[in-house]
Amino acid sequence: MSLDSLESLRLAFKRVFIKYYLALQTPAIADPTEAFAACRAYLTKLHHQLGHEEFMRRLDDETTHLAGLVEQDLRQRSKGRYSQATYEDVEDRLRECFEHALGRIGCDSGRIRVE
């Protein structure tokens, strides 16, 4: 797998997002810079591969799927230490990263549908 394959970029984003999310659970100020940059790289590659219309059509599904994977990883890692990691909270933070990245890659619709 090449370093800039879609899967590599997705895994890199997931890794730095988890690091950022865990930092949010501490009293310190969490810096989203690395998570935002990794998200932008991942979504840029996905947008390039799918084209704009298909990208926008699949974005909400990708967001919820990735949020589920991150929440599962957090639960497996934490063994009870981060029990406050709820799916909704993880998804909200993930959507923030996606919103930032969408604004940077110039997508017409900078808003992701939130239900």
7-49 pLDDT tens trace: 999 999 999 999 999 999 889 999 999 999 999 999 999 999 9
Output the pTM of the full model.
Answer: 0.83
> What whole-number distance in Å separates Cα of residue 104 and Cα of residue 40?
7
The closest of 49, 88, 54, 83 to 68, measured between CA atoms, is 88
Residue pLDDT, tens place only, 57-115: 999 899 999 999 998 888 888 776 655 568 889 999 999 999 999 988 877 454 443 33
Separation in Å, CA 46 to CA 10, 21, 36, 77: 9, 23, 15, 28
CB neighbour list of residue 35: distance below 8 Å, 6 or more residues apart = 13, 16, 17, 19, 20, 97
